[in-house]
Chain A
Amino acid sequence: MDVELPADDDAVLTAMIDLMRRVSPRESVRVLDMLSELQPELADDLAGHFDIKLDSVKDEDGDYIQCDYNMVGTSYRSPWSNTYHPAIPDAPLPSPRLRELELVLNKAFKVYTQMYFGGGVCSVFLWDLEEEKPRDMGFAGAVVITSPPPPTDAVDMRWDSFHVFECHERGRSAKYKLTSTISVFLKATLAPVVVDKVTSENEGEANLCAHTARQAEYDYPLTTPQGHVANIGRMVEDME
């Protein structure tokens, strides 16, 4: 994934990453889009550093997330139906055995988001990796979560998380390399109030937002091929 960039491009990419780390997380998607448009040839590299952009959509397949990890061109693959919307010929799909795992993971994480967020949308996307020994399964995936909309207007809040991992099976165990990015947005609106006879507050707000990225490695036993579900579940629960 790491591309050797000419010295100039390298400096530009470094500057863009630095800028992205300074602007408020509330502005970062907008800034990311601008920078990508300014330097289209570096857009993918830049996006690879910032897992921040997602949309949740509802269609006949159910709720799922649209993000870089299920995008081909301008189409997105639904993790429920395994088809692209809008349809696109020859788009990549996970291998059948990985697809089965993907579907089960999507169901399992539906449970997870219900338990922790009381709703929201979570999508899991998997893709195959080439392994040296053909018997070992190697794959990568992304667990992407967005919280449900808040119930009242008093506090506007959102939780977005990306858990991107690589998994390599080694006999009866599996190694998972995880990179997680969690974005939290909290905004309290302070309603106008009369303080005393002569003083009144017009309006006010407090905005608190955060991006945090963490990396971790997990070694879990893997006695059956299905064991990935529990392993990935534990890993994400632990990280969040």
Chain B
Amino acid sequence: MVTMNQVVELIHLAPPGQLKEVFDDLSIIVDDKEHFPDLLKDELQRFNRQQFAVVQHEPFQDVPVHTSIISKGSEDREHRYVDYETERSFILDDTTLNPVEYAPYNIAEGSRILRKELEKSLKAYVKDSYPTGHCQVSVSAINPQALVLEAKDSLDQVRTNSEGLDEGLNKEGIEQTVPPPVQTAAREGQVGSFFILEIVAELDNKANFWTGKWQSEWKVDPTIRSVTGRMNVDVHYFEQTNVRLQSRHSIQSEFPLRLKDDRSIASYIVTRVANIEQTYHQKLFNTICTLDQDSLKRLRRVLPASGSKIDWDQVQSDIYNDTTLGQNVSQIDISPAYVYEPIMTQTIHVQKE
């Protein structure tokens, strides 16, 4: 039985830039107009976070029109998102992507300078390499002890709040065992802030029947000098066809101990990220070429091993004339794939040019 939840989850299958179309299709297909909008709204929240939805902000004080990225990295515990440019948090209308209810947001003093340096370097790189790119650097504070207390508190709350709702309890309980990714309570001097660098670039070329998207996320932990990242590519081509390329890649790296000041750390990390992304881009490009040219030919030959097309008249007359051959054909044990020695050489007749 298909549940409404499964149906709304289909929005995650939307190709880049085609959420609206998929959303509209689902609204027509689904009979249950009562529960559907609410479920869809919840799912859109997940979708926007996973897909790094880009939100535009109006000018504020001396900051002009700018954007921020919706993600787990920029989400605080009250499901508000942070706009680092103006140091405000806001609530997102997940359907319209409009930010509302701004409130001041404090960035931990201890992480402020390094975050700014990372942002400066990352922006320069993204401007250079992604014509339609957006980026963001979020700060996340990890204090393991605080996290454990946090999780325990939350669990207690969940338990009392959702008494009798076994399903809700289990679900929430599991979620709580994973440390919340972002702590707004990042305070000066707190142990172990880490930084999340995010890049998203979407190209919408529906006029030429394709849309595509790049997404990458890098977690930088200065205390253990580690950089871990993942990159996603999704391209949809649809001129009288439906072609989809989806690729993901994850990486871990570290940076040297000798880097002391924030500026050189930031510059080193972003250079490192840029190198890794460039390498992945090239590697993906090569892989696709191999898939397209080499693998596809191994899957289905362009021509049989004989080098020419099949002589169908001969195949036809052989089968009609030789009933035993016909029976053999149906009994043939297929030889291991990709060995293109025709088994029935006696039935294959090459057309001579």
Do B247 and A27 touch (CB < 8 A)? Answer: no
Question: Which residues of B sit under 8 angstroms from A205, Cβ to Cβ?
Answer: 247-249
Alpha-carbon distance A31/B1, docked complex (angstroms): 13
Do B304 and A115 touch (CB < 8 A)? Answer: yes
Tell me the chain A residues, 196-240 only, with Cβ under 8 Å from chain B: 198-213, 226-227, 229-231, 233-234, 237, 240
Alpha-carbon distance A185/B193, docked complex (angstroms): 43
Interface stretch of the complex, out of A91-99, A100-108, A125-133, A171-179: A100-108
Alpha-carbon distance A184/B251, docked complex (angstroms): 29
Question: Which residues of A sit under 8 angstroms from B254, Cβ to Cβ?
Answer: 198-199
Contact with A along B316-349 (1 / 0, CB 8 A): 1101100000100111101111111011100110
Question: Which residues of A sit under 8 angstroms from B320, Cβ to Cβ?
Answer: 104, 226, 229
Do A16 and B246 touch (CB < 8 A)? Answer: no
Do A120 and B334 touch (CB < 8 A)? Answer: yes
Do B309 and A237 touch (CB < 8 A)? Answer: yes
Interface stretch of the complex, out of A18-26, A68-76, A82-90, A162-170: A18-26
- Given A22-B236, A233-B316, A151 and B336 touching (CB < 8 A)? yes
Alpha-carbon distance A106/B329, docked complex (angstroms): 9
Min distance, Cβ A185 to any Cβ of chain B, angstroms = 9
Is the CB of A38 closer than 8 A to any CB of chain B? yes
Do B338 and A118 touch (CB < 8 A)? Answer: yes
- Given A19-B25, A186-B295, A237-B310, A38 and B30 touching (CB < 8 A)? yes
Do A119 and B304 touch (CB < 8 A)? Answer: no
- Given A63-B334, A108-B315, A117-B299, A208 and B244 touching (CB < 8 A)? yes
Is the CB of B253 closer than 8 A to any CB of chain A? yes
Tell me the chain B residues, 250-264 only, with Cβ under 8 Å from chain A: 250-256
Do B28 and A110 touch (CB < 8 A)? Answer: no
Interface stretch of the complex, out of B96-104, B113-121, B284-292: B284-292
Question: Which residues of A sit under 8 angstroms from B6, Cβ to Cβ?
Answer: 34
Which range holds the interface residue count of chain B?
35 or more
Question: Which residues of A sit under 8 angstroms from B300, Cβ to Cβ?
Answer: 116-117, 147, 159, 240
- Given A19-B10, A120-B334, A190-B283, A111 and B344 touching (CB < 8 A)? yes
Min distance, Cβ B43 to any Cβ of chain A, angstroms = 15
Is the CB of B93 closer than 8 A to any CB of chain A? no
Cβ-neighbour of A115 out of B238, B295, B305 (below 8 A): B305
Is the CB of A65 closer than 8 A to any CB of chain B? no
Do B342 and A23 touch (CB < 8 A)? Answer: no
Minimal Cβ-Cβ distance residue in A for B255: A198
Is the CB of A43 closer than 8 A to any CB of chain B? no
Question: Which residues of A sit under 8 angstroms from B305, Cβ to Cβ?
Answer: 115
- Given A16-B29, A22-B21, A240-B300, A233 and B15 touching (CB < 8 A)? no
Contact with A along B33-69 (1 / 0, CB 8 A): 0000000000000000000000000000000000000
Question: Which residues of A sit under 8 angstroms from B299, Cβ to Cβ?
Answer: 117, 147, 150, 157-159, 184, 186
Is the CB of A112 closer than 8 A to any CB of chain B? yes
Alpha-carbon distance A213/B313, docked complex (angstroms): 27
Alpha-carbon distance A224/B15, docked complex (angstroms): 50
Cβ-neighbour of A198 out of B1, B15, B244, B253 (below 8 A): B253
**Chain B residues in contact with chain A, CB under 8 A?**
1-2, 6-7, 10, 13-15, 18, 21-22, 24-26, 28-31, 236, 238, 240-256, 272, 276, 279-280, 283-284, 287-288, 290-292, 295-296, 298-301, 304-306, 309-310, 312-313, 315-317, 319-320, 326, 329-332, 334-340, 342-344, 347-348
Supply 11 A–B pairs (Cβ within 8 Å), ascending by A: A25-B244, A31-B13, A38-B29, A112-B310, A190-B287, A199-B251, A204-B250, A208-B292, A212-B241, A212-B242, A233-B310
